[in-house]
Amino acid sequence: MTGAGGFIGSHLVEALAKRGARVRALVHYNALGSYGWLDELTAKKKIEIVAGDICDPQSVERAMQGAAIVFHLAALIGIPYSYEAPESYVRTNVGGTLNILQASRRLKPDRIVLTSTSEVYGTARYVPIDESHPLQAQSPYSASKIAADKLGEAFYRSYDLPVVTLRPFNTYGPRQSARAIVPTIISQCLHRGKIKLGSLEPQRDLNFVSDLVEAFLLAGYSTKAVGHTVNIGSGKAVSIKELVERISRLIGNKKVGVFIDSKRVRPKKSEVNYLEADSALAQDLLGWKPLYSLEKGLRATIPWMKKHLERYGSIYSI
Q: Is 167 helix (H, G, I), strand (E, B) or coil?
A: strand
Following DSSP, what letter does each residue of 78-113 receive, concatenated?
A: -HHHHHH-HHHHIIIIIIHHHHHHHHHHHH--SEEE
Nearest partner of 168 among 141, 131, 134, 132, judged by Cα = 131
Its pTM stands at 0.94
Residue 72: its pLDDT value, please?
Answer: 98
167: pLDDT strictly greater than 60: yes
Task: Determine the 3-state secondary structure of 149 from DSSP.
Answer: helix
For 191-223, the pLDDT digits (tens) are 766 788 878 889 999 999 999 999 999 999 999
- 172-193 pLDDT tens trace: 999 999 889 999 899 888 876 6
Q: Taking residues 74-91, what's their average pLDDT?
A: 95
Residue 160 has pLDDT above 70, yes or no: yes
**Residue 32: predicted pLDDT:** 84
Average pLDDT on 106-134 reads: 97
Helix, strand or coil, per DSSP, at residue 278: coil
Which of these, 171, 214, 128, lies nearest to 6 by C-alpha position?
A: 171
Which CATH number applies to 7-312?
3.40.50.720
